[in-house]
Structure 1
């Protein structure tokens, strides 16, 4: 007969079997909680990966849009350069015509 086990009941202390069962329940609860956290983490990772795919798709679309706008900007820069060149040529021609006209105009003579 074990005196320690006989006194455990009236001292209010749990028996080793009761302690093992309690520890087992605690471990089961912890495992259930960890499984819930794992499911949530997996769902979060799936959501983040979906967001990444959507972002990459939008990035590809936006890159195409930027390429189109870049091509349009290049065409406009070429047009601006052509118009600037044309305006410079026209300005030089106008200056030359003014010079010729001024040379052809009679000069007033001053009488002294």
Structure 2
């Protein structure tokens, strides 16, 4: 028997022919191709929806940016006003404290009694 004939198994009983071995693989490739086409179609639909949504979302983004800038400006103004009020009230408190201290000193000088302790000043 020739060594080339040992490798030739096409005529053996029960052995699939090359065509028979290719058919299942071809069916797998066809199924994969159909699945990939379906995924591609779905992806294209999603991209189309995103492209349609973009202008509306961009307009909304711009409006929100404008509102944010206005809110920041209002917050800065409110902070400035709060600082002014706090500064003014601190100055008023210091002025009142100074006035009370002056009045206390005059009262103690006139009466000779300590305003803080109620005892005579020595």
Out of 64, 67, 72, the residue aligned to residue 65 of structure 1 is 67
Which TM-score applies when normalising by structure 2?
0.54
**Structure 2: gaps (5+ residues):** 1-10, 114-119
The structure whose residues are more often helix, as a share, is: 1
1:60 Cα offset (Å) = 2.6
1:38 Cα offset (Å) = 2.0
Per-residue CA deviation, residues 44-92 of structure 1 (Å, 9 max, x unaligned), is 2x25624872554443332222111110111011101111111121112
| Length, aligned pairs only | 101
Match of 2:45 in 1: 43
Moved beyond 4 Å, runs of 4+: 11-20, 22-33
| CA RMSD of superposed structures (Å) | 3.7
Asked if residue 93 in structure 1 is aligned to residue 95 in structure 2, the reply is yes
The 10-residue stretch of structure 1 (101-110 or 34-43) with the greater mean CA deviation from structure 2: 101-110
Which TM-score applies when normalising by structure 1?
0.58
Match of 2:116 in 1: none
